[in-house]
Homo-oligomer: A and B are copies of this chain.
Amino acid sequence: MNEYMEAALEEAKIAFDLGEVPVGAVVVRGGEIIARAHNMTETIKDPTAHAEVLAIREAARALGGWRLIGCDLYVTMEPCSMCAGAIVWSRVERLFYGARDPKAGAVGSLFDIPGDSRLNHNPEVVVGVMEEECSAIVKDFFRELRIRKR
């Protein structure tokens, strides 16, 4: 489990170095990482280019279909409503995330989209995997941003 979150954290570090909010995600199937991505909203000027959306799209390309049956998604931060919706639509089997996002999180914080039984799919959710590391990189990012802005 930590092996995959470490891979997601490596992606978050790439985002950090690009000046993006450092969030990373990987999609795992049968023990193998089939997609990896990091937040790219500023770099490619696309408001939908969150790590989870990019990883899901890459995994769908790798599998040749939009249903990510038997796939687990590891992401360093709690998904927002956009990403939580994408996770439900793509039929991700299990979602593992690191740090909570009290401002926009939609998997327990503001909303609980994957847990809503009115939707047609409810992925299993595991919260707090390598939480400290996943949270630290985001805190570091915003601390540096505040220093640079002064």
Contacts and interface: CB of A to CB of B under 8 A. Distances in A.
Contact of A106 (B53, B81, B83, B91): B81
Nearest to A42: B66
Interface residues of A, number: 38
A75 interface: no
Contact of A81 (B42, B48, B68, B85): B85
Contact of A68 (B47, B57, B65, B80): B47
A67 interface: yes
Given A104-B119, A110-B119, A120-B103, A60 B45 contact: yes
Interface in A35-52: 41-42, 45-49
Interface in A50-74: 53, 56-57, 60-61, 64-68
Work out how many copies of this chain go into the complex. 2
A23 interface: no
A118 interface: yes
A41 B116 CA distance: 23
Contact of A66 (B41, B56, B60, B83): B41
Contacts of A111: 81, 111, 113
Nearest to A66: B47
By Cβ-Cβ distance, the 10 closest A-B pairs, closest first, are: A82-B85, A81-B85, A47-B90, A47-B66, A47-B89, A81-B81, A82-B86, A45-B66, A48-B86, A81-B113
